[in-house]
């Protein structure tokens, strides 16, 4: 082995950026050798129990033989072909599956390669729809505070203006309309006063609003907040009344994480446009999809320019589509619902002691998501290493220390994970 091969982790500091980080970030990233099941193996031989599912994605754990097999099979046929003028079985079958899973009300599927792009596509669908209808006014979006919808410029314009990056980019971001995050918690009713900020804003701006976008039930990266499903029912009704489209961003919540296959099902509502990503491929490849109604897709297609104006180079990548199909089948054949309920109980029991700590503001759990909200932001430099020393992979942000384990995590592993988290917080 050459020196270079032995020393590859040192190349990281020399050449790479990491998400939301400066160069030469401290502590340096931990070097991963491999991953299997719910464990990440570091190059120094240590094993970490994964509390993050690689940001909501790896619901089946890592290196799953069924997913690997699907990738290998597809690779033998073709890894990729362009989607302009060509089509293939994995895309056709996956589109049909997604349409079936979401109740057949959103029968048209656009594939893209990341969640952020799925959101851009959703925004462009809404804008093109109103243009096709001859309505030149409707070109703004209503979004919730504490929301997160991605990092590209369009998606970023929908993120919380304070916790997002608006102060840096405000001069070039589209100016959207922001509404207070719902105060009514999950499981509680949504009273008139809880819905008033949305109602007032929507009625006031109705003429210029193309769509409202929400992360249904669980606001993810913007605050890990769980809100009342009734809020979504009221929102659906009001959008219908006022003729405004509703976009559900289920990129984080889709595929079982909240206890339902899709979080909209807690409310029994259908959006006009739906974005999925993250766990779509079980965390193996990057892929996203934007689904919409017959009416929106036909209106766009029947008016100038007689096409939806978007087309990623790697659209509907066959490897990603095949592994997504395999992942969805694996999920549906598994006892995912009872697994998520089991993890919910494990998180409730395992994180309850954290609520007694002085530095903790609140503990909340929904489905396979457990959140410990601290009173002050944690110091990433020290806490990250502390978790690794305890043998777990947990990546907090700001005041939020949270777990979203793979659905396949056993109770003993979950207990190791939650007790390690407690020890780290208790020693802060």
Q: Nearer to ligand PLP by C-beta: 283 or 346?
A: 283
Residues in binding contact with ligand PLP, number by CB under 6 A: 15
Separation between Cα atoms, residue 297 and residue 131, nearest integer Å:
13
Contact positions with ligand PLP (CB under 6 A) in 249-288: 249, 251-252, 277-278
Residue 65 half-sphere exposure toward CB, CA atoms < 13 A:
0
In the stretch 334-363, what mask flags binding to ligand PLP with x, by CB under 6 A? ------------------------------
Which element (helix H / strand E) includes 99? Answer: helix 89-101
Lateral strand order in the sheet of 392-393: 32-36, 39-42, 47-50, 392-393
**Shortest Cβ 66–ligand PLP spacing (Å):** 23
Q: Nearer to ligand PLP by C-beta: 266 or 278?
A: 278
Please work out, in degrees rounded to the nearest 5, the angle formed at the alpha carbon of residue 390 by the alpha carbons of 389 and 395: 85
Task: By CB under 6 A, tell whether 202 contacts ligand PLP.
Answer: no
Three-class secondary structure of residue 143 per DSSP: strand
Q: Which residues are catalytic?
A: 20, 148, 249, 278
Q: Nearer to ligand PLP by C-beta: 166 or 278?
A: 278
**Shortest Cβ 130–ligand PLP spacing (Å):** 22
Separation between Cα atoms, residue 384 and residue 367, nearest integer Å:
25
Q: Pick the closest to residue 133 from 293, 300, 305, 308 (CA basis).
A: 300
Q: What angle in degrees, to the nearest 10, is found between the helix axes of 318-333 and 65-77?
A: 150
Separation between Cα atoms, residue 418 and residue 428, nearest integer Å:
16
Q: Nearer to ligand PLP by C-beta: 251 or 331?
A: 251
Separation between Cα atoms, residue 246 and residue 226, nearest integer Å:
19
- The residue nearest ligand PLP at its CB is 115
Among 61, 90, 164, 220, which residue sits at the site for ligand PLP (rule: CB under 6 A)? 220
Contact positions with ligand PLP (CB under 6 A) in 138-167: 148-150
**Shortest Cβ 228–ligand PLP spacing (Å):** 18
How many other CB atoms sit within 10 Å of the CB of residue 405?
A: 27
Only segment of 213-221, 263-271, 340-348, 368-376 that touches ligand PLP (CB under 6 A): 213-221
Contact positions with ligand PLP (CB under 6 A) in 97-126: 114-116, 119
| Residues binding ligand PLP (CB under 6 A) | 114-116, 119, 148-150, 215, 220-221, 249, 251-252, 277-278
């Amino acid at each position: 082995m050459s020196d270079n091969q032995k020393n590859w982790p040192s190349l990281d500091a020399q050449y790479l950026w990491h998400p939301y980080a400066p160069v030469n970030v401290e502590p340096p990233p931990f070097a991963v050798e491999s991953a299997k099941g719910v464990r990440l193996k570091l190059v120094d031989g240590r094993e970490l129990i994964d509390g993050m599912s690689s940001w909501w994605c790896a619901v089946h754990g890592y290196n799953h033989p069924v997913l690997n097999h699907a990738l290998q099979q597809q690779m033998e046929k073709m890894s990729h072909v362009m989607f302009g003028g060509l089509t293939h079985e994995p895309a056709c079958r996956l589109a049909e599956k997604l349409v079936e899973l979401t109740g057949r009300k959103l029968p048209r599927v656009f594939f893209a390669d990341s969640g952020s792009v799925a959101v851009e596509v959703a925004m462009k669908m809404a804008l093109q729809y109103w243009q096709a209808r001859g309505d030149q006014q409707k070109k703004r979006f209503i979004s919730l505070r504490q929301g997160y919808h991605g990092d590209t410029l369009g998606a970023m314009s929908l993120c919380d203006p304070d916790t997002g990056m608006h102060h840096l980019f405000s001069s070039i971001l589209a100016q959207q309309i922001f509404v207070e995050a719902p105060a009514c918690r999950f499981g509680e009713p949504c009273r008139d006063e809880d819905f008033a900020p949305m109602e007032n804003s929507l009625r006031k701006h109705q003429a210029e609003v193309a769509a409202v976008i929400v992360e249904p039930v669980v606001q993810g990266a913007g605050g890990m907040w769980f809100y009342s499903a009734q809020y979504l029912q009221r929102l659906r009704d009001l959008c219908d009344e006022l003729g405004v489209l509703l976009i559900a961003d289920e990129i984080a919540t889709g595929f079982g994480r909240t206890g339902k296959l899709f979080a909209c099902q807690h409310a029994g509502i259908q959006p006009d446009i739906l974005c999925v990503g993250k766990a779509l491929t079980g965390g193996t490849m990057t892929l996203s999809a934007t689904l919409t109604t017959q009416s929106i897709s036909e209106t766009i297609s029947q008016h100038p320019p007689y096409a939806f104006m978007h087309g990623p180079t790697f659209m509907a990548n066959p490897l990603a589509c095949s592994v997504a199909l395999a992942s969805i089948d694996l999920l549906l054949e598994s006892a995912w619902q009872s697994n998520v309920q089991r993890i919910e109980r494990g998180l409730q029991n395992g994180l309850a002691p954290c609520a007694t700590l002085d530095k903790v503001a609140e503990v909340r759990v929904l489905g396979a998501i457990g959140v410990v909200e601290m009173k002050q932001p944690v110091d990433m430099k020290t806490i990250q290493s502390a978790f690794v020393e305890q043998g777990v992979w947990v990546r907090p942000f700001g005041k939020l220390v949270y777990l979203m384990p793979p659905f396949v995590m056993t109770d003993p592993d979950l207990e190791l994970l939650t007790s390690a988290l407690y020890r780290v917080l208790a020693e802060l």
